[in-house]
């Protein structure tokens, strides 16, 4: 596992390729961090922050397709390209911030799984965190995750879709929701939640992982016709998956608004949020919610670990390979640091929300890194970003940066 020799067994990425990279990102839409951020947004501010879901999803479609563009054309993932094309001191700092974002992600996913174990078995959060981290790490290092991933994704996806079905069972103020989807507003004290929702949707580690999954097929070695065909198919996959994710995220916010905000109740823990499924699932709602949260936590923590592995391997200018020490060291370090951070979290729900806000703070670095690489003819050749796409990407980067600055200035 820790040797220098590459075995070629990439550890989980083959399964992710076969189910479609876009679906991987969609599963990220319903991880514990998203659940907490969306429930906080809906229960505290009603429908007012739905525009953040829309804006984040539009950004995500552009960014995910663009980073896949890098993998398809160059044959390198985002982390490898960073090492190859940036000065070494700069690439080390940039990738170090990406690793910290992966640690924050892993912390949220492991914490979400631990909250689920507490709901199911009354386990203390610290013990539950160690168990979730150990299981996720074992699944990654032994590559046994491949055998159960489809089952987990299927189950978590059904729960995500149940939020959509649930909308038909509650009284929704659709005119207000329709306006809120497209008209920005920032109620007093909402800046941290805005950044949390943004960071929960546009996640830096998913940009790194998406490029790794794509580049591992080495379309760059199969000719221009294959590259152009793959770019077209990949955009369709990404667009469809992002629309599904937008609908699920919106449904979570709407349900929290229609059930809790309407009643003047602010959600302060995920156990409360389980009651949003009661009309459809009855008394079993809490159990099913907790079981889905556990599976979401394990599934998304594994992908967070994979992302960390791609980043640490990229620092060595190598592709992800769980049996190589550069990849496995990044995976292990991320779980150790992420789990250790949970021991210093006094409010688990706030910990989830703040972890997603931390991802938003790192996001501009990844976005502008991506713009630099995909706009470079040295990296992309004739497939470098055109002027229109480059302007769109820069605008996205500026919007995210401005939102971050406003959040820091306002102090939440």
Q: Domains of the chain: which residue ranges?
A: 13-410
Which pLDDT does position 351 carry in this prediction? Answer: 87
Which pLDDT does position 5 carry in this prediction? Answer: 35
Which pLDDT does position 7 carry in this prediction? Answer: 39
Which pLDDT does position 34 carry in this prediction? Answer: 84
Output the CATH code of domain 13-410: 1.20.1740.10
Contact criterion met (CB below 8 Å) for 50 and 177: yes
As given in the structure block, the two tokens for residue 339 are 């789990």
Q: How far apart are CA 380 and CA 213, in angstroms?
A: 18
Which pLDDT does position 210 carry in this prediction? Answer: 79
Contact criterion met (CB below 8 Å) for 307 and 322: no
Segment 255-283 mean pLDDT: 80
Segment 160-178 mean pLDDT: 84
Residue 408 sits at φ, ψ, to 5 deg, of -70, -40
Band (pLDDT 50/70/90 cuts) for residue 3 is very low
The upper half-sphere exposure of residue 315, i.e. CA atoms within 13 Å in the direction of its Cβ, equals 21
Does residue 4 surpass a pLDDT of 60? no
- How distant, in Å, are the alpha carbons of 15, 120, 403 from that of 277? 31, 16, 32
Q: What is the pLDDT of residues 176-233, one digit of tens each?
A: 999 999 999 989 888 889 988 888 888 888 889 878 877 656 665 566 666 777 766 7
Segment 277-305 mean pLDDT: 79
Q: How far apart are CA 404 and CA 345, in angstroms?
A: 23
As given in the structure block, the two tokens for residue 259 are 């059930």
Query: Mapping DSSP to helix (H, G, I), strand (E, B) and coil, where does residue 30 land?
Result: coil
Contacts of 320 (CB under 8 A, 6+ apart): 10, 11, 13, 77, 212, 216, 306, 309, 310, 313, 327
Segment 129-138 mean pLDDT: 94
Range among 19-28, 65-74, 81-90, 160-169 with highest mean pLDDT value: 81-90
The more confidently predicted of residues 225 and 367 is 367
Does residue 409 surpass a pLDDT of 70? yes
Q: How far apart are CA 190 and CA 58, in angstroms?
A: 21
As given in the structure block, the two tokens for residue 180 are 């809120």
Angle of helix 285-315 relative to helix 145-166, nearest 10 degrees? 130
**Which of 2-16, 146-160, 329-343, 377-391 is predicted least confidently?**
2-16
Which pLDDT does position 203 carry in this prediction? Answer: 84
Which pLDDT does position 155 carry in this prediction? Answer: 66
Segment 156-177 mean pLDDT: 81
Does residue 12 surpass a pLDDT of 80? no
Q: How many CB atoms lie within 10 A of CB 18?
A: 10
Does residue 291 surpass a pLDDT of 90? no
Three-class DSSP labels, 131-179: HHHHHHHHHHHHCCHHHHHHHHHHHHHHHHHHHHHHHHHCCCCHHHHHH
Segment 86-99 mean pLDDT: 95
Band (pLDDT 50/70/90 cuts) for residue 295 is confident
Rounded to 10 degrees, the C-alpha dihedral 80/85/86/88 comes to 70
Which pLDDT does position 14 carry in this prediction? Answer: 45
Q: How far apart are CA 220 and CA 72, in angstroms?
A: 6
Contacts of 160 (CB under 8 A, 6+ apart): 29, 30, 248
Q: Smallest Cα–Cα separation from 363: which of 126, 252, 203, 154? A: 203
The more confidently predicted of residues 75 and 237 is 75
Query: Mapping DSSP to helix (H, G, I), strand (E, B) and coil, where does residue 387 land?
Result: helix
pTM metric for this prediction: 0.84
Q: How far apart are CA 207 and CA 367, in angstroms?
A: 9
Does residue 335 surpass a pLDDT of 90? yes
Band (pLDDT 50/70/90 cuts) for residue 83 is very high
Segment 249-273 mean pLDDT: 87
The more confidently predicted of residues 27 and 113 is 113
Which pLDDT does position 25 carry in this prediction? Answer: 60
Which pLDDT does position 145 carry in this prediction? Answer: 57
CA-CA-CA-CA torsion sign (254, 260, 262, 265)? negative
């Amino acid at each position: 596992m820790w040797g220098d020799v590459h075995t070629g067994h990439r550890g989980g990425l083959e399964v992710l390729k076969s189910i479609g990279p876009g679906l991987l990102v969609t599963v990220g839409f319903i991880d514990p961090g998203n659940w907490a951020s969306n429930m906080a947004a809906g229960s505290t501010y009603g429908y007012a922050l739905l525009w953040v879901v829309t804006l984040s999803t539009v950004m995500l479609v552009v960014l995910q397709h663009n980073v896949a563009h890098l993998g398809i054309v160059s044959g390198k993932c985002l982390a490898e390209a960073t090492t190859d094309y940036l000065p070494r001191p700069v690439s080390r700092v940039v990738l170090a911030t990406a690793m910290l974002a992966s640690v924050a992600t892993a912390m949220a996913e492991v914490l979400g799984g631990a909250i689920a174990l507490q709901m199911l078995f009354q386990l203390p959060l610290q013990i539950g965190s160690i168990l979730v981290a150990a299981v996720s790490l074992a699944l990654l290092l032994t590559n046994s995750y491949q055998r159960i991933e489809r089952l987990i994704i299927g189950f978590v996806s059904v729960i995500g879709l149940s939020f959509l079905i649930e909308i038909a069972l509650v009284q929704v103020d659709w005119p207000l929701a329709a306006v809120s989807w497209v008209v920005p507003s920032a109620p007093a004290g909402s800046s941290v939640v805005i950044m949390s929702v943004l960071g929960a949707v546009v996640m830096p580690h998913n940009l790194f992982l998406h490029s790794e999954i794509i580049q591992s097929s080495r379309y760059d070695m199969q000719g221009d016709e294959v590259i152009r065909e793959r770019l077209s198919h990949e955009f369709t996959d990404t667009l469809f998956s992002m629309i599904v994710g937008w609908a699920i995220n919106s449904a979570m916010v709407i349900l929290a608004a229609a059930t809790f905000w309407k009643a003047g109740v602010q959600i302060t823990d995920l156990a409360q949020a389980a009651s949003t499924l009661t009309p459809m699932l009855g008394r079993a709602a809490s159990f099913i919610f907790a079981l889905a949260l556990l599976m979401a936590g394990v599934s998304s923590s594994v992908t967070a670990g994979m992302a960390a592995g791609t980043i640490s391997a990229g620092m060595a200018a190598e592709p992800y390979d769980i049996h190589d020490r550069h990849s496995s060291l990044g995976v292990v370090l991320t779980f150790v640091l992420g789990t250790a951070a949970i021991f210093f979290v006094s409010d688990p729900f706030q910990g989830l929300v703040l972890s997603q806000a931390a991802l938003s703070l790192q996001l501009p670095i990844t976005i502008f890194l991506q713009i630099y690489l995909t706009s470079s003819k040295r990296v992309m050749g004739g497939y470098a970003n055109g002027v229109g796409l480059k302007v769109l990407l820069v605008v996205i980067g500026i919007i995210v940066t401005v939102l971050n600055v406003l959040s820091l200035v306002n102090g939440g």
